Chain A
Amino acid sequence: MEVALSKRRTERLLSIVVLLLSSRRYLTAEQIRAAVSGYPEEQESFKRMFERDKEELRDLGIPLETGRANQFDDDLGYRISRQDYELPEIHLEPDEAAVLGIASRVWQSAELAGAATGAALKLRAASGEADGEGRVTPPPGIQPRLTTQEPAFGPLWEAVRDRRPVTFDHLAIGRSEVKKRTLEPWGVVNRRGRWYVAGYDRARDAPRVFRLNRITGPVKFAGPPGSVKVPDGTDVRELVKDWDRPLTRDHTATLRVRADAGFALHRWGRVTEDAANPGWDLVAIDYSDPEWYAGYLAEFGPDVVVLGPPELREAVIRRLKGALT
């Protein structure tokens, strides 16, 4: 029953598209009703059904135009301009068709995977048989995958696409209380597999970057589409890069490392033999953040002893003592 209903609906929508595309004039709701099977007799339910159909067609991106159906009265009519509807001519070479296949598999989240696949199908439909699909095996290139597990991604993608401000709760790293933010989003960036949103933070009156998995709770729209203006020359990649700024290794650690362990330290440090302690090497190695680096050195357990500087040595000892409890 439900299948039959949905099938009739698809049939009706398809008929409307065909009808309005072939008509140069605006057709009134009544004219559409007369041409298309499946609308009920009763006026009110027809109106409701027709409204829903229009909405569904517009959601699919079908450019439904409205205008006066007749120069003598004010009846509203509908048509679809072929020029606005049709995908422009496009021809894909066989290698391009192969790349299209790989690109349409990049997104791993259902919605965007659906969107990318839908786009690829339209392009292949437009290109005709010369694209040689199925006859070219995909080149053994690199196959990227994009995942979007953060629930905030969907609404932020929409907000960026439609230029709408948003509000959300955000938990900054190292904090235990969430803060409400209002952001005019300029862009969404994936850097090293992590998603960030960059934009103008209204309360801070400055550009800010937020990592998506630190957004707690729902992302809500805080203004109408088109109300965000992205400043000219904004490069969201650069904003995120600055935020996640490259490390300057301006400290040097002196370590005693067991000669047969600490592979990474031996490889990336400056190694000399520790004459006083057979079986050990002395390693000098540069680092940037003492707290972070102390954590890294603690991982090596008894294979590494930090000789200096003292703050690094203390930080490692503190971690090891912490791990005892």
Chain B
Amino acid sequence: MVTSAERLRRLLALVPYVAARRVVGLAETAATFGMTERELIDDLNLAWCVELRAPEPYCPIDLSYEDGEISISQAESIARPLRLAADEASALLVALRMLAEAASFGQHSNSDHGDGDAVARLIAKIEDAAGAAGAASSQVSVQIDRPDARGLAAALSGALSARRRVHLRYYVPSRDEATERDVDPMRLLVVEGRTYLEGWCRRAEGVRHFRLDRVLSVDVLDVPAEVPETAEPADVDGGLFTASPSDVLVEIELSPAARYVAEDCPCEFVTDLPDGRRRMGLRTPDTAWLRRLVLRHGEDARVVSPAGLADEVRETAAAALAQYE
């Protein structure tokens, strides 16, 4: 349930939103404000019911809704929205500056228009409108790794707008190999500081994410992209790596020197053990990267289970050591 403060905040934007538009669709407005039509009607009724009793009784807000349309004929003193609060202005400006940086990757250096231009215009307008409320945003900064100096992002961005299929040579570190695949691009994402292409991989017949810094080369094909209707964009809100419960559960014990490893892994659980040791558990469809991770940390990381993976690590290490004899 929304609190009375949140509801007031919403109403103080809703009334001007409708007032500025004369007539606006009920469904469209509900969608914009992220509420159901029932909730929207409740809010409209609430605004309409406001009555000031003194000095003389009157109703400052007059509105009507019928046939799926709303109009406000009188909104009095709240016809304009409230100024942006410091959090609002800063959150939006930080996001926009990040967008500006990301958009600059997707552009050919010789073009001076496109998304980046609209972003820049919008930033200027919001800074202007926010005034002092936007000041804190300059102290919060987001840097994205420039995905490449090879124009990959621009090529992929071009393929996206032209809706063309691409051929990727893609490096898979967990198997230390280069793979070749045709991908129908869906969107470019920046998650946790890295740029990814999300697309329908025709080899895997599924939605896959390709880190741009691991793309070895890209060819934009003269073939239209065909993303199947059933291809769902990933829900990236919880990070890109969503394990499936059917994946094998791997438990790894870390020494104090390697306990930080747990912070950078998509763990299902982390248990602190005595003496600063840690145990982490995670699920993954492919354990190759974990074998590499454990080898990398030597005596500071040990596979507890499954036994098969623990054996694999030992066998790999023994085979490698044999070369040094």
- Number of B residues whose C-beta is below 8 Å from A? 127
Whose C-beta in chain A lies nearest to the C-beta of B116? A141
Residue pair A318, B9 in contact (C-beta under 8 Å): no
In the assembled complex, the Cα of A90 lies from the Cα of B52 at a distance in Å of: 30
In the assembled complex, the Cα of A313 lies from the Cα of B324 at a distance in Å of: 9
Residue pair B239, A22 in contact (C-beta under 8 Å): no
Q: Which residues of A contact B103 (CB under 8 A)?
A: 141-142
In the assembled complex, the Cα of A143 lies from the Cα of B106 at a distance in Å of: 11
In the assembled complex, the Cα of A37 lies from the Cα of B51 at a distance in Å of: 8
Q: Mark B106-119, 1 if CB is under 8 A from A, else 0.
A: 10000000110011
Residue pair B81, A122 in contact (C-beta under 8 Å): yes
In the assembled complex, the Cα of A3 lies from the Cα of B4 at a distance in Å of: 9
Residue pair B106, A96 in contact (C-beta under 8 Å): no
In the assembled complex, the Cα of A124 lies from the Cα of B29 at a distance in Å of: 11
Check: B178 CB closer than 8 A to any chain A CB: yes
Check: B49 CB closer than 8 A to any chain A CB: yes
Whether A186 touches B11, Cβ cut-off 8 Å, given contacts A3-B1, A115-B85, is no
Residue pair A193, B81 in contact (C-beta under 8 Å): no
Q: Which residues of B contact A273 (CB under 8 A)?
A: none
In the assembled complex, the Cα of A140 lies from the Cα of B153 at a distance in Å of: 12
Whether A59 touches B5, Cβ cut-off 8 Å, given contacts A11-B46, A36-B53, A122-B88, is yes
In the assembled complex, the Cα of A68 lies from the Cα of B144 at a distance in Å of: 52
Check: A82 CB closer than 8 A to any chain B CB: yes
In the assembled complex, the Cα of A180 lies from the Cα of B277 at a distance in Å of: 22
Check: A67 CB closer than 8 A to any chain B CB: no
In the assembled complex, the Cα of A323 lies from the Cα of B314 at a distance in Å of: 6
In whole Å, how far is A33's beta carbon from the nearest beta carbon of chain B?
9
Check: A119 CB closer than 8 A to any chain B CB: yes
Q: Which residues of B contact A99 (CB under 8 A)?
A: 96, 99, 115, 118-119, 122
Q: Mark B185-216, 1 if CB is under 8 A from A, else 0.
A: 00111111111000000000000000000001
In the assembled complex, the Cα of A271 lies from the Cα of B28 at a distance in Å of: 61
In the assembled complex, the Cα of A173 lies from the Cα of B258 at a distance in Å of: 9
Check: A95 CB closer than 8 A to any chain B CB: yes
Q: Which residues of B contact A140 (CB under 8 A)?
A: 157, 160-161, 187-188
- Which one of B14-22, B62-70, B242-250, B279-287 is at the A interface? B14-22
Check: B41 CB closer than 8 A to any chain A CB: no
Whose C-beta in chain A lies nearest to the C-beta of B31? A134
Whose C-beta in chain A lies nearest to the C-beta of B319? A302
Q: Which residues of B contact A267 (CB under 8 A)?
A: 171, 216
Residue pair A102, B99 in contact (C-beta under 8 Å): yes
Most A CB within 10 A of own CB, among B28, B86, B136, B177:
B136
Check: A51 CB closer than 8 A to any chain B CB: no
In whole Å, how far is B127's beta carbon from the nearest beta carbon of chain A?
11
Q: Which residues of B contact A98 (CB under 8 A)?
A: 118
Check: A70 CB closer than 8 A to any chain B CB: no
Check: B306 CB closer than 8 A to any chain A CB: no
In the assembled complex, the Cα of A236 lies from the Cα of B118 at a distance in Å of: 26
Residue pair B296, A298 in contact (C-beta under 8 Å): yes
Check: B241 CB closer than 8 A to any chain A CB: no
Check: A48 CB closer than 8 A to any chain B CB: no
Residue pair B54, A301 in contact (C-beta under 8 Å): no
Whose C-beta in chain A lies nearest to the C-beta of B317? A323
Which of B136, B260, B295, B320 contacts A160, CB < 8 Å? B136
In whole Å, how far is A301's beta carbon from the nearest beta carbon of chain B?
4
In the assembled complex, the Cα of A225 lies from the Cα of B11 at a distance in Å of: 30
Interface residues of B in 2-34 (CB under 8 A from A): 3-5, 7-14, 16-17, 20-22, 24, 28, 32-34
Check: B87 CB closer than 8 A to any chain A CB: yes
Residue pair B140, A188 in contact (C-beta under 8 Å): yes
Residue pair B192, A193 in contact (C-beta under 8 Å): yes
Q: Mark A5-34, 1 if CB is under 8 A from B, else 0.
A: 011011101110111011000000001001
Check: B304 CB closer than 8 A to any chain A CB: no
Which of A119, A302, A322 contacts B88, CB < 8 Å? A119
Residue pair A305, B82 in contact (C-beta under 8 Å): no
Check: B221 CB closer than 8 A to any chain A CB: no
Q: Which residues of B contact A118 (CB under 8 A)?
A: 9, 13, 85, 88
In the assembled complex, the Cα of A92 lies from the Cα of B292 at a distance in Å of: 51
Interface residues of B in 37-55 (CB under 8 A from A): 42, 46-47, 49-55
Residue pair B12, A17 in contact (C-beta under 8 Å): yes
Check: B230 CB closer than 8 A to any chain A CB: no
Residue pair A35, B257 in contact (C-beta under 8 Å): no
In the assembled complex, the Cα of A322 lies from the Cα of B321 at a distance in Å of: 11
Most B CB within 10 A of own CB, among A35, A147, A324:
A324
Interface residues of A in 238-283 (CB under 8 A from B): 240-241, 261-264, 267
Whose C-beta in chain B lies nearest to the C-beta of A304? B320
Q: Which residues of B contact A222 (CB under 8 A)?
A: none
Check: B149 CB closer than 8 A to any chain A CB: no
Residue pair A100, B195 in contact (C-beta under 8 Å): no
Residue pair A10, B102 in contact (C-beta under 8 Å): no
Residue pair A321, B77 in contact (C-beta under 8 Å): no
Residue pair B8, A14 in contact (C-beta under 8 Å): yes
In the assembled complex, the Cα of A237 lies from the Cα of B121 at a distance in Å of: 23
Residue pair A108, B237 in contact (C-beta under 8 Å): yes
Check: A49 CB closer than 8 A to any chain B CB: no
Residue pair B126, A123 in contact (C-beta under 8 Å): yes
Interface residues of A in 107-135 (CB under 8 A from B): 107-108, 111-113, 115-129, 133-134
Check: B263 CB closer than 8 A to any chain A CB: yes
In the assembled complex, the Cα of A138 lies from the Cα of B104 at a distance in Å of: 17
A-B contact pairs, 12 of them (CB 8 A): A11-B46, A15-B51, A85-B83, A86-B81, A103-B95, A103-B122, A126-B129, A127-B20, A129-B20, A141-B106, A191-B193, A298-B298
List 17 additional A-B contacts (Cβ < 8 Å) besides A145-B190, A318-B298, A321-B298. A17-B78, A18-B50, A18-B60, A119-B92, A123-B129, A125-B20, A140-B157, A140-B187, A142-B195, A146-B98, A161-B136, A295-B297, A298-B295, A302-B320, A318-B299, A323-B314, A325-B299
